[in-house]
């Protein structure tokens, strides 16, 4: 497989990982959108090259970002990264044999908590997904799901009892998503948990989870172990979805009201004409067949 020709995928920012994972002086191989890359960290600078060409680089939010094309917007805003009492926790990378779009969709999903994260993020006795709202914010081109609520036996590393957790989800680009969640210890603020997906190939992804949390009791190791345990449970599901690529063709899957964020996410991807990581469609005219 070689670099995709999918314009919508090329013109985006992607993370290659946390900056701390690229030691100074070393040359680290990486992969993005079907192409091999080399990352070289100099003292203050990072260089990313693909097929002899230097790619643009950003180092925001403790991560290394790059792009093959010309992104329409600069990197998304993350105001919480400027709050001094937030703890920055990196808990990746995890390699997953699935489309990165499947990873994002799973991240947006509440209904699996009782079954995949049993007795932690959900319980079989409380599987109901209450109505929530999803909107496309045209000014920033982001997708937001708000007013999400779910009963959780152990919502976070610092929880010692069940609670109704409030969530907001924010999709800032096809492969980058974050959630805001009420921390057990500071109910008036929001923890931020981000999932930055590095789509190495159409059906191979590297997940970089990142948290900006308010937690005065847990250690870094506890916070990261909690998130990793959750993600390992998700990985089992993600590698066993069929097809591995996200289907955009109507009727391939069966959404219900609880899947509203998935429905709007897929619509948003179609609007962008994104193909990388999506299942080839058979319902379009050959002239506009995305995988022609």
Residue 153 C-beta: closest distance to Fe ion, Å = 14
**For the residues of 169-203, what is the DSSP string, one character each?**
EEEEETTEEEEEE--TT-TTS-EEEEEEEEEEETT
| Min CB(186)–Fe ion separation in Å | 23
Tokens for 132? 């929530």
Site for another protein, residues 236 to 255, rule: CB under 8 A: 236-237, 240-243, 247, 253-255
Q: Is residue 100 at the binding interface for another protein, with CB under 8 A as the rule? A: no
How many positions of this chain bind another protein (CB under 8 A)?
27
Q: Report the partner that residue 127 touches, choosing among another protein, Fe ion, none (CB closer than 5 to 8 A by kind).
A: another protein
User: What is the Cβ-side half-sphere exposure of residue 58, based on CA atoms within 13 angstroms?
Assistant: 15
Which tokens belong to 7?
């314009």
CA–CA gap between residue 111 and residue 129 (Å, rounded): 6
Q: Does 20 bind another protein (CB under 8 A)?
A: no
Residue number, 122 or 199, with CB nearest to another protein: 122
**CA nearest 246: which of 289, 269, 278?**
278
Binding mask 207-236 for Fe ion (x = CB under 5 A): ---------------------------x--
Under the binding rule (CB under 8 A), the answer on residue 163 touching another protein is no
147 binds another protein (CB under 8 A): no
Interacting partner of 48 out of Fe ion, another protein, none (Cβ under 5 to 8 A depending on kind): none
> Does residue 50 interact with another protein by CB under 8 A?
no
Angle (CA) 103 104 107, round 5°: 90
Choose the contact partner of 273 out of another protein, Fe ion, none; CB within 5 to 8 A by kind. Answer: none
Contacts of 17 (CB under 8 A, 6+ apart): 30, 63, 64, 92, 93, 198, 206, 208
Q: Smaller CB distance to another protein: residue 111 or 284?
A: 111
Give the residue with the Cβ less far from another protein, 89 or 264. 264
Task: State the pairing for strand pair 63-66/204-213.
Answer: unpaired
For residue 80, the minimal CB distance to Fe ion (Å) is: 22
Among 73, 137, 147, 257, binds another protein (CB under 8 A): 257
What's the CA gap between 137 and 166, in Å, rounded? 20
Q: How far apart are CA 93 and CA 64, in angstroms?
A: 13
Question: Based on CB atoms, which residue is closest to another protein, 75 or 238?
Answer: 238
Distance, in Å, from the CA atom of 10 to the CA atom of 1, rounded to the nearest integer, reads 15
Footprint of Fe ion on residues 233-262 (CB under 5 A)? 234
Applying the rule CB under 8 A, the residues between 106 and 145 that interact with another protein are 109-112, 114-116, 124, 127-129
User: Do the Cβ atoms of 63 and 206 come closer than 8 Å?
Assistant: no
Q: Which residues make up the interface to another protein (CB under 8 A)?
A: 105, 109-112, 114-116, 124, 127-129, 236-237, 240-243, 247, 253-259, 262
């Amino acid at each position: 497989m070689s670099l995709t020709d999918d314009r919508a995928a090329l013109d985006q920012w992607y993370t290659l990982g946390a900056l701390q994972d690229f030691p100074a002086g070393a040359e680290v191989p990486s992969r993005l959108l079907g192409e091999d890359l080399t990352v070289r960290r100099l003292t203050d600078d990072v260089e990313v090259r693909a097929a002899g060409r230097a790619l643009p680089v950003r180092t925001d939010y403790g991560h290394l970002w790059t792009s093959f094309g010309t992104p329409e917007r600069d990197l998304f805003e993350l105001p919480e990264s400027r709050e001094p009492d937030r703890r920055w926790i990196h808990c990746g990378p995890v390699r997953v044999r699935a489309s990165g779009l499947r990873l994002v969709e799973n991240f947006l999903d509440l209904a699996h908590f009782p079954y995949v994260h049993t007795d932690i993020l959900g319980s079989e006795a409380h599987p109901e997904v209450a109505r929530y709202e999803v909107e496309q914010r045209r000014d920033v081109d982001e997708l937001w799901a708000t007013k999400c609520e779910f009963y959780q036996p152990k919502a976070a590393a610092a929880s010692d009892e069940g609670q109704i957790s409030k969530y907001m989800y924010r999709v800032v680009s096809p492969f980058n998503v974050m959630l805001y969640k009420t921390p057990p210890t500071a109910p008036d603020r929001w923890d931020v948990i981000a999932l930055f997906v590095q789509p190495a190939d159409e059906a191979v992804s590297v997940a970089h989870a990142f948290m900006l949390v308010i937690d005065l009791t847990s250690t870094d190791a506890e916070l990261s172990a909690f998130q990793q345990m959750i993600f390992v449970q998700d990985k089992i599901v993600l590698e066993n979805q069929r097809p591995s690529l996200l289907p955009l063709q109507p009727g391939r899957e069966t959404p219900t009201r609880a899947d509203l964020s998935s429905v709007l996410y897929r619509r948003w991807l179609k609007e962008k004409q994104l193909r990388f990581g999506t299942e080839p469609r058979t319902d379009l005219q050959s002239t506009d067949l995305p995988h022609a």
